[in-house]
């Protein structure tokens, strides 16, 4: 119910259309249902009575009815389309707007692909369901009820046959459909599994071929395939009863009406025309019933979509701006004071009691194994997540007291999983600063060692970057991302493993440029390579969510066993023979 309310709130300006659609649909149905009644009049008072005039007159009325029905139908088509597509538009808009307010932890909760599905497929499902509800879900029962009323008005005794038939069919359908539904759900699950395994084969085809496992895979597939065949058979065997059942019911009604009708006519209780109308209504009533059952099935299918959409719409961001937020970050100093952090209230903390004091303008290296919470540590600084306990000061003020946009513009992060967007290089760079001149962009690129490869591209800074940055190499992408961030001219610059695909030489050049060109900016550099951090002013060694050591390279070599182990392994016989020079 809450779900319906959340979704319903998005109908907004299409309320009028949403109300008019069923109104017109019902009007159409009524027109349609009056026609057989008039037909009886043509037969009885026209043909049987030998009154040609009556035929013309009633015939004329029928034509008008059909035309009104046509008009109402077209109107219903129009308003229905408007209401449903408008509703879909509003849903998309509301979801998208809400997603923009999501914090990192909100985003983490949903996978990217699931958010995309919600915005696309699920909305389309809702659009179709809503249109069906407005048009068919009103029309079908209305048609059934009107036909039933008409039938009863002709002859209640004969019409009661339909009532029995409807109840009989409804019971049968309600017996068959839920069972078939369960079977189908099982089949489609298996079906998805089968497709997943095909997918697996496609992406791992080299493994399959390298191990000569083609026949093994074929056997595996054939078995799963046969299994699905059997399950489909089981499910469809059940559904297939529907059609003949419906036919049998219709036929039985026709025969019963013919038998009893003929007797009643002869006895004078019914006219021939009326009996013909009754037979026409038979089709209408039972077809509508079938329609209703189909609508129920389809609506139940879109329930999952509705739920997923409502989930996004009701998700509330867990970060908000304070009252009277500070707009200016005074300097680039960072202080962690007893900071602990966990991604969920219930899960165990990933950062434990962190205390750090970083001066403005310092270059800090951060090193540690995967899962040691390096990224978590730096993500707190620009308030991408909130600390669970303790406090974190930037420029001498708690990060929670800043305006979030102002903070993030002055504490710039180059994310580990970074993306470029489709557009020219310049457009991408200007994400950092909308007003940046071309000269400024070029300067940033020079700093990030990106200018050298951009100049070699045919269209230089106007080179078009494909979606996902597929037409530049990993190292080039990283350098563009760094340049983009530099354009923000931040007080604090955080590089989260942002040069992993850049070769060592270029990596060194970038660091040198930073030291010379932006000396006042506080720089935090997360890296796997010791060479990337060893010249930093100080180095943080993380392990398992705690800072195990914090000092200069020389100090750490003496005091930190973890650091010296990493250093040894990378510079001794196990040095990283990195080979990404071809990126340029």
Tokens 């591209």 -> residue: 457
Handedness of CA 127, 129, 133, 136 (dihedral sign): positive
Beta carbon of residue 222, minimum distance to other proteins (angstroms, whole number): 6
- Interaction with other proteins in 188-207: which residues (CB under 8 A)? 188, 194-207
Under the binding rule (CB under 8 A), the answer on residue 82 touching other proteins is yes
- Interaction with other proteins in 363-402: which residues (CB under 8 A)? 368-372, 382, 384
Under the binding rule (CB under 8 A), the answer on residue 455 touching other proteins is no
Q: Among 11, 20, 27, 99, which residue sits at the site for other proteins (rule: CB under 8 A)? A: 99
Beta carbon of residue 37, minimum distance to other proteins (angstroms, whole number): 12
Under the binding rule (CB under 8 A), the answer on residue 413 touching other proteins is yes
Handedness of CA 414, 564, 373, 503 (dihedral sign): positive
**Structure tokens, 40:** 């009886």
Under the binding rule (CB under 8 A), the answer on residue 515 touching other proteins is no
Under the binding rule (CB under 8 A), the answer on residue 151 touching other proteins is no
Nearer to other proteins, 228 or 337 (CB): 228
Under the binding rule (CB under 8 A), the answer on residue 545 touching other proteins is no
Q: How far is CA 238 from CA 189, 227, 465, 516, in A?
A: 18, 18, 53, 77
Q: Determine contact, residues 155/278, Cβ cutoff 8 Å.
A: yes
* DSSP string across 228-296: HHHHHHHHHHHHTTHHHHHHHHHHHHHHHHHHHHHHHHHHTSS-HHHHHHHHHHHHHHHHHHHHHHHHH
Stretch of 219-227, 334-342, 390-398, 548-556 contacting other proteins, by CB under 8 A: 219-227
Nearer to other proteins, 347 or 579 (CB): 579
Q: Is 400 exposed, middle or buried (0-12, 13-18, 19+ CB in 10 A)?
A: middle
Beta carbon of residue 2, minimum distance to other proteins (angstroms, whole number): 25
Under the binding rule (CB under 8 A), the answer on residue 532 touching other proteins is no
Nearest to 367 by CA among 571, 556, 574, 579: 556
Q: What angle do CA 509, 475, 372 make, to 5 degrees?
A: 90
Stretch of 1-9, 96-104, 329-337, 353-361 contacting other proteins, by CB under 8 A: 96-104
Q: Determine contact, residues 139/29, Cβ cutoff 8 Å.
A: yes
Between CA 399 and CA 395 the distance in angstroms is 9
Nearer to other proteins, 3 or 66 (CB): 66
The site that binds other proteins (CB under 8 A) totals a number of residues, namely: 175
**At 391, is the secondary structure helix, strand, or coil?**
strand
Nearest to 350 by CA among 71, 547, 546, 99: 546
Q: Among 4, 9, 15, 93, which residue sits at the site for other proteins (rule: CB under 8 A)? A: 93
Q: Among 332, 365, 432, 545, which residue sits at the site for other proteins (rule: CB under 8 A)? A: 432
Nearer to other proteins, 72 or 166 (CB): 72
Nearer to other proteins, 156 or 204 (CB): 204
- Interaction with other proteins in 268-297: which residues (CB under 8 A)? 272, 276, 279-280, 283, 294, 297
Under the binding rule (CB under 8 A), the answer on residue 517 touching other proteins is no
Q: How far is CA 58 from CA 53, 66, 272, 485, in A?
A: 9, 12, 17, 79
Beta carbon of residue 338, minimum distance to other proteins (angstroms, whole number): 26
- Interaction with other proteins in 322-351: which residues (CB under 8 A)? none
**How many beta carbons lie within 10 A of that of residue 250, not counting itself?**
18
Between CA 208 and CA 201 the distance in angstroms is 7
Stretch of 4-12, 72-80, 532-540, 549-557 contacting other proteins, by CB under 8 A: 72-80
Q: What is the dihedral of CA 43, 46, 47, 52, to 10 degrees?
A: -150
Under the binding rule (CB under 8 A), the answer on residue 240 touching other proteins is yes
Beta carbon of residue 33, minimum distance to other proteins (angstroms, whole number): 10
Q: How far is CA 502 from CA 471, 484, 526, 570, in A?
A: 16, 16, 14, 17
Nearer to other proteins, 199 or 338 (CB): 199
Between CA 506 and CA 450 the distance in angstroms is 10
Tokens 């930093």 -> residue: 536
Q: Among 20, 26, 122, 125, which residue sits at the site for other proteins (rule: CB under 8 A)? A: 125
Q: Among 217, 362, 427, 440, which residue sits at the site for other proteins (rule: CB under 8 A)? A: 217
Beta carbon of residue 388, minimum distance to other proteins (angstroms, whole number): 20
Q: Among 18, 103, 363, 532, which residue sits at the site for other proteins (rule: CB under 8 A)? A: 103
Between CA 320 and CA 99 the distance in angstroms is 14
Nearest to 276 by CA among 27, 29, 42: 42
Q: Is 191 exposed, middle or buried (0-12, 13-18, 19+ CB in 10 A)?
A: middle
Under the binding rule (CB under 8 A), the answer on residue 417 touching other proteins is yes
String marking each residue 28-67 x if it binds other proteins according to CB under 8 A? x---x--x---x--xx--xxx-x-x--xx--x--xx-xxx
Under the binding rule (CB under 8 A), the answer on residue 168 touching other proteins is no
Under the binding rule (CB under 8 A), the answer on residue 112 touching other proteins is yes
Under the binding rule (CB under 8 A), the answer on residue 446 touching other proteins is no
Under the binding rule (CB under 8 A), the answer on residue 175 touching other proteins is no
């Amino acid at each position: 119910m809450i779900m319906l309310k959340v979704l319903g709130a998005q109908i907004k300006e299409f309320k009028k259309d949403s109300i008019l659609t069923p109104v017109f649909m019902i009007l159409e149905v009524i027109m349609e249902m009056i026609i057989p009644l008039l037909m009886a009049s043509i037969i009885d008072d026209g043909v049987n009575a030998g009154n040609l005039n009556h035929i013309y007159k009633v015939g004329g009325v029928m034509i008008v009815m059909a035309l009104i029905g046509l008009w109402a139908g077209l109107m219903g088509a129009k308003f229905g389309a408007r209401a449903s597509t408008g509703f879909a538009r509003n849903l998309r808009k509301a979801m998208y707007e809400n997603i923009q307010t999501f914090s990192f932890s909100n985003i983490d909760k949903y996978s990217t692909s699931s958010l995309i599905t919600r915005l696309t497929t699920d909305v389309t499902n809702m659009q179709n369901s809503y249109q069906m509800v407005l048009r068919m879900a009103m029309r079908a029962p209305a048609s059934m009820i009107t036909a039933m009323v008409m039938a009863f008005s002709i002859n209640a005794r004969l019409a009661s046959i339909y009532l029995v038939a409807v109840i009989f069919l409804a019971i049968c359908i309600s017996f068959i459909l839920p069972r078939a539904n369960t079977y189908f759900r099982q089949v489609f699950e298996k079906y998805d599994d089968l497709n997943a395994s095909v997918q697996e084969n496609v992406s791992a085809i080299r493994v399959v071929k390298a191990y000569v496992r083609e026949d093994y895979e074929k056997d595996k597939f054939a078995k799963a395939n046969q299994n699905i065949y059997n399950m489909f058979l089981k499910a469809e065997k059940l559904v297939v009863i529907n059609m003949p059942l419906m036919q049998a019911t219709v036929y039985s009604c026709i025969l019963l009406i013919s038998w009893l009708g003929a007797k009643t006519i002869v006895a004078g209780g019914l006219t021939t025309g009326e009996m013909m109308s009754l037979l026409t209504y038979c089709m209408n009533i039972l077809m509508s019933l079938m329609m209703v059952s189909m609508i129920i099935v389809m609506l139940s299918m879109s329930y999952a979509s509705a739920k997923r959409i409502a989930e996004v719409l009701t998700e509330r961001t867990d970060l908000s701006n304070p009252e009277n937020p500070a707009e200016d970050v005074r300097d680039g100093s960072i202080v962690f004071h007893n900071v602990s952090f966990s991604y969920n209230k219930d899960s165990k903390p990933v950062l434990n009691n962190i205390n750090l004091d970083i001066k403005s303008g310092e270059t800090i290296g951060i090193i540690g194994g995967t899962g040691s919470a390096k990224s978590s540590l730096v993500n707190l600084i620009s308030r991408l997540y909130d600390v669970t306990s303790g406090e974190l000061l930037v420029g001498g003020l708690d990060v929670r007291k800043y305006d979030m946009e102002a903070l993030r513009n002055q504490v710039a992060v180059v994310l580990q999983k970074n993306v470029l967007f489709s557009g020219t290089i310049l457009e991408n760079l200007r994400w950092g600063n909308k007003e940046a001149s071309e000269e400024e962009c070029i300067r940033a690129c020079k700093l990030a060692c990106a200018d050298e490869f951009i100049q070699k591209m045919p269209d230089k800074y106007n080179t078009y970057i494909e979606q996902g940055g597929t037409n530049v190499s990993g190292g080039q992408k990283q350098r563009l991302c760094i340049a983009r961030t530099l354009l923000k001219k931040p007080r604090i610059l955080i590089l989260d493993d942002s040069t992993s695909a850049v070769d060592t030489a270029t990596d060194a050049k970038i660091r040198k440029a930073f030291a010379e060109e932006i000396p006042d900016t506080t720089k935090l550099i997360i890296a796997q390579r010791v060479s990337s951090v060893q010249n930093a002013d100080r180095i943080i060694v993380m392990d398992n969510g705690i800072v195990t050591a914090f000092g200069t390279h020389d100090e750490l070599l003496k005091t930190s066993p973890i650091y010296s182990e990493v250093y040894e392994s990378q510079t001794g016989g196990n040095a990283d023979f990195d080979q990404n020079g071809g990126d340029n």
